[in-house]
Amino acid sequence: AQSVTQLGSHVSVSEGALVLLRCNYSSSVPPYLFWYVQYPNQGLQLLLKYTTGATLVKGINGFEAEFKKSETSFHLTKPSAHMSDAAEYFCAVSRNSGGYQKVTFGTGTKLQVIP
């Protein structure tokens, strides 16, 4: 079984401030981890992913995330928030199940950027 927990359904930051969105996962096998962004009335866009190798992953739009196995975490960060970052962010975990990839999403975190 696998699950994803996103701490904080709403996060507010000032423009230019650090963005930190938290994600913890549980998985019985080494997982693949993803962050997606969803703008209003749109589908999900992949921000970044961790599969194997380097634990610090860089994605689009200046976002990055670090896989910490000991903490079962995959938090998303951005050094300086921009107004265009206001959106909903989803963490997801994927693992091989019976030869197929099984994907589980978190409940999402809405990021508000205050000017």
Partner 1 sequence: DAGVTQSPTHLIKTRGQQVTLRCSPKSGHDTVSWYQQALGQGPQFIFQYYEEEERQRGNFPDRFSGHQFPNYSSELNVNALLLGDSALYLCASSSDGFYEQYFGPGTRLTVT
Closest to partner 1 by CB, 38 or 80 = 38
- What is the closest distance, in whole angstroms, from the C-beta atom of residue 108 to partner 1 in the complex? 5
Closest to partner 1 by CB, 13 or 48 = 48
Could you list the residues that contact partner 1 (CB under 8 A)?
4, 9, 32, 36, 41-46, 49, 51, 90, 92, 94, 97, 100-108
- What is the closest distance, in whole angstroms, from the C-beta atom of residue 106 to partner 1 in the complex? 5
Question: 78 - beta bridge partners?
Answer: 19
